[in-house]
Amino acid sequence: MRKTIIAGNWKMNKDASETEEFCVELGLYLGRHNEDRVLPLIAPGFPFLTRALEILSGLPAAVAAQDVSSHAAGAYTGEVAADQLRSLGLSHCIVGHSERRQYHSETDAEIRAKLLQLKKSGLIPIVCVGESLAQRENGETEQVVLAQMSGCFEQVDLETGREVVVAYEPVWAIGTGKTATAEQAQEVHGIIRDWLLQRYGADIAGRISILYGGSVKPGNLAELLQQPDIDGGLIGGASLQIADFCAMLDTAVQVVRGDSEC
């Protein structure tokens, strides 16, 4: 019912030739492997989106931007609008990543404005939420994550549930090598799913993919994907090597097919 999304957030990594090389390799992999229930997605830097789209054109993979302006168009030097991204042929865009919240002081209100711009342009926002280590240690995880959900989705109507993706990324697990255990992640994913269910009803909530992010790698992905409310990964470091990325796609295919060896 929900696709498993294996999403690589490259952050500020890879130049033009490295992007090209990765995409060519990914294209070769996708030529050999196809599983409709698994969607590979990469989010390269802005300057390389067009080339990534060209190389992956016609293949079952998605390309995403890592951020978007909260404004529609106009005098906002350095910003990129949702309509501009759409004109490239992009399908997805990450918003509200904790690095944007932390280093660029992004608020839930701003993330909501970005989400609305993307929706209006027909792009799928990947909306990131997650608590800090201090908040987890203070027992505030649920409260923090649901406050972020409420802020980002305030008065946001959804028609099918397929027009947004949510990513739970505990800040303490990002780039630290500390992955949330599958149980810890499932607990929060379950809380997010319940919130979506109360807000949008069972049909829509059931169609929204909720990705887990934070030190996901080939060795821990299978256990995460076996949880009922974990519908994929938003992966930083381990998405940069094509071999690791393809290994994670293989894992996702095995999990959706119910192979016992994974």
Catalytic residue among 106, 131, 163, 169: 169
Q: If binding is defined by CB under 6 A, does position 213 make contact with ligand 13P?
A: yes
Nearer to ligand 13P, 44 or 213 (CB): 213
> Judged by CB under 6 A, does residue 158 bind ligand 13P?
no
Determine if 169 is a binding residue for ligand 13P (CB under 6 A): yes
List b or e across 233-251, with b for residues whose CB sees 16 or more CB atoms inside 10 angstroms. Answer: bbbbbbbbebebbbbbbbb
Phi, psi of 205 (to 5 degrees): -60, -35
Active site residue 33: no
**Is 111 a binder of ligand 13P (CB under 6 A)?**
no
To ligand 13P, the closest distance from the beta carbon of 220 in angstroms equals 10
Decide if 30 contacts 61 (C-beta within 8 A): yes
Part of the chain binding ligand 13P (CB under 6 A), chosen from 102-110, 153-161, 190-198, 234-242:
234-242
Minimum distance from residue 248 beta carbon to ligand 13P (Å): 11
235 lines the binding site for ligand 13P (CB under 6 A): yes
Which range in 138-146, 168-176, 189-197, 222-230 contacts ligand 13P by CB under 6 A?
168-176
Q: 91 with 72: CB under 8 angstroms? A: no
CA-wise closest residue to 232 among 219, 216, 247, 246: 216
Q: Which DSSP state fits 60?
A: S
Q: State whether residue 237 is helix, strand or coil.
A: helix
Q: Report in angstroms the alpha-carbon separations of 151 from 136, 141, 239.
A: 19, 15, 29
Write the binding mask 171 to 210 for ligand 13P: x where contact by CB under 6 A, - elsewhere.
---xx-----------------------------------
169 is known as an active-site residue: yes
Give the C-alpha separation, 152 to 164, whole Å.
12
- From the list 92, 97, 99, 131, the catalytic residue is 97
